[in-house]
Amino acid sequence: MTAWLAALPDALLVGVGGSLGALARYGVDVALDGGRSSTFAVNVVGSIALGALVTSAAPEQILTVAGAGFCGAFTTFSSFAVNVSEAAANGRYRLAAIDAAGTLVTALVGVGIGAGLAGL
């Protein structure tokens, strides 16, 4: 670990990681034309990344910039909640249930996959 990274305040690390995560999130939205598929993709990929990070031997500063910063901005619980709420409000209860359960289960499996990858 370089000394300059260790010397940076946590808020700055989160800000840098968050900026990169937000840009990556936007890139996924553009590539997948936004909507449910984009939200699902970032939440699952972010869960894999976070699972790998928290089970790795990464230094605290890396966890801060990549975990809290990048993954925090890249993933999106709020968009997930809006998607499920809108589907339910429009009477699409099956879609709401599939979206909610599918995202939660797949994201949890993603954490496991990430943890497994970190252990390799």
Residues near 95 by beta carbon (within 8 Å), at least 6 away in sequence: 87
| 75 assigned to a ligand binding site | yes
35 annotated ligand binder = no
Task: Work out the angle at residue 52's Cα, subtended by the Cα atoms of residues 98 and 71, and round it to the nearest 5 degrees.
Answer: 65
Report d(CA 118, CA 58) in Å as an integer.
10
Residue by residue, what is the 3-state secondary structure of 70-110? HHHHHCCHHHHHHHHHHHHHCCCHHHHHHHHHHHHHHHHHH
Of 114, 103, 115, nearest in space to 41 by CA? 103
Where is the binding site, in residues? 72, 75
Where is the binding site for Na(+), in residues? 72, 75
